[in-house]
Each structure stands twice: as structure tokens, then as C-alpha cells.
């Protein structure tokens, strides 16, 4: 029988090995940098938001642990093509999942597999780094630097 832990590892390793949208966007009009002060890992996120407030394209560059890279890959996958408002809703759901509040699993795509991370405080910052960077990029048109603290 397929065990949840095996599924978790398989999905995380797949996103880590073959991260989706792992590239710098030449035509980005929003971007943000995220920094995890606990380990020094960073992510740069690029968004192209069109005139209808839709995330037309998204990309990221990062050098971090498997969870942070996989989480960034999952995040870009799920918000690509949605409106800024929907992306904020998805961000809120992810945050609620990680803080063990009620959340809507349906809208999180592969990122729902990271729900178990909430049991491991040391890995929470890894999982949320790209998501807080997304929120920062959505909040302003200029480059911003955030930390997860
Ligand atoms: Fe640095 Fe996970 S150990 S982000």
C-alpha cells in the first residue's frame, strides 16, 4: 500500500529535482526577494501581472533546501494564471494550513502535501519562504526584501 510519507517524499523530490517556473523573467513588473535568516537561503521571485491584474507569468531563482525549493515550485504552479486577488486567497489558505487553522485544500494544488510540515517548527520557515515572498511581490510593484521573521 502507498504510504503518505512515500507520497510526500516523491512529490517534494520531484519539485526539487525539476522545479516548475525556475527562471528569471525578463518582462517581470513585480519582484521580491525572500531571505531565511536561520540558514541564509534566499529566493528571488518574478511576476508579470497584466492589465487585468492577472498573474500572466511567474518565475523564481533560489538556492535553498529541498523543502524551500519544492514549496516555491508548487507555489508558482498554483498561482500562475490566476488574479492577484485569487493569489492572495491561495496565500492565506497556505498560511492557515501551516498554522493548523481550517483551510481549503482544493485550491492549494501539490502544496497541500506540505501540510505535515506544520509538525516540524524548524522546517516551517523553509516551506513559507517563497509564499511570503509572493505576498511581498503582490503588495508592491517595486523590489522589496523580506525575511520570514
Ligand atoms: Fe534554508 Fe530550508 S534550510 S530554507
Task: Give the C-alpha separation, 78 to 58, whole Å.
Answer: 10
Atom of ligand 1 at shortest range from CA of 67: 2
Q: How confident is the model at residue 90 (pLDDT cuts 50, 70, 90)?
A: very high
Domains of the chain in start order, with CATH, are 4-146 (3.90.1010.10)
* Ligand 1 centroid, distance to 63 Cα (angstroms): 9
Cβ atoms within 10 Å of 1's Cβ, excluding its own: 3
54 within 8 A of 81, measured Cβ to Cβ: yes
Question: Torsions phi, psi of 3, nearest 5?
Answer: -95, 150
Count Cβ neighbours within 10 Å for each residue of 79-101 and write b for 16 or more, e otherwise: bbeeebebbbebbebbeebbeee
Residue 76 contacts residue 55 (beta carbons within 8 Å): no
The number of beta carbons lying within 10 Å of the beta carbon of residue 67 is 20
Residue nearest to atom 3 of ligand 1 (CA): 65
Residue 25 · residue 59 · CB < 8 Å: yes
Q: Does the beta carbon of 64 sit less than 6 angstroms from any atom of ligand 1?
A: yes
Please tell me if the CB atom of residue 129 comes closer than 6 angstroms to any atom of ligand 1: yes
**Ligand 1 lined by 75 (C-beta under 6 Å):** no
The phi, psi pair for 51, rounded to 5°, reads -65, -20
Q: Name the more confident of 101 and 146.
A: 101
Protein residue closest via CA to atom 4 of ligand 1 = 126
Q: Give residue-wise pLDDT tens across range 46-86.
A: 999 999 999 999 999 998 899 999 999 999 999 999 999 99
Dist. CA 19 → ligand 1 center (Å)? 16
Predicted confidence band of residue 141 (pLDDT cuts 50, 70, 90): low
Query: Using DSSP, how many helices (H) and how many strands (E) does the chain show?
Result: 4, 4
**Is 33 within 8 Å of 144 (Cβ atoms)?**
yes
Cβ atoms within 10 A of the Cβ of 106, count?
A: 8
pLDDT at 142: 60
2 pLDDT tier (thresholds 50, 70, 90): low
Amino acid at each position: 500500500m502507498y504510504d503518505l510519507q512515500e507520497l510526500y517524499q516523491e512529490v517534494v523530490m520531484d519539485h526539487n529535482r525539476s522545479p516548475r517556473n525556475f527562471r528569471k523573467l525578463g518582462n517581470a513588473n513585480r519582484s521580491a526577494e525572500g531571505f531565511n535568516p536561520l540558514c541564509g537561503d534566499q529566493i528571488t521571485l518574478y511576476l508579470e501581472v497584466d492589465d487585468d491584474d492577472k498573474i500572466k507569468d511567474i518565475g523564481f531563482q533560489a538556492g535553498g533546501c529541498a523543502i524551500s525549493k519544492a514549496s516555491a515550485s508548487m507555489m508558482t504552479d498554483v498561482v500562475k494564471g490566476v488574479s492577484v486577488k485569487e493569489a492572495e486567497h491561495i496565500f492565506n489558505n497556505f498560511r492557515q494550513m501551516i498554522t493548523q487553522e481550517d483551510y481549503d485544500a482544493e485550491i492549494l494544488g501539490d502544496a497541500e502535501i506540505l501540510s505535515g510540515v506544520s509538525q516540524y517548527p524548524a522546517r516551517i520557515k523553509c516551506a513559507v519562504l517563497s509564499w511570503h515572498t509572493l505576498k511581498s511581490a503582490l503588495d508592491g510593484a517595486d523590489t522589496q526584501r523580506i525575511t520570514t521573521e
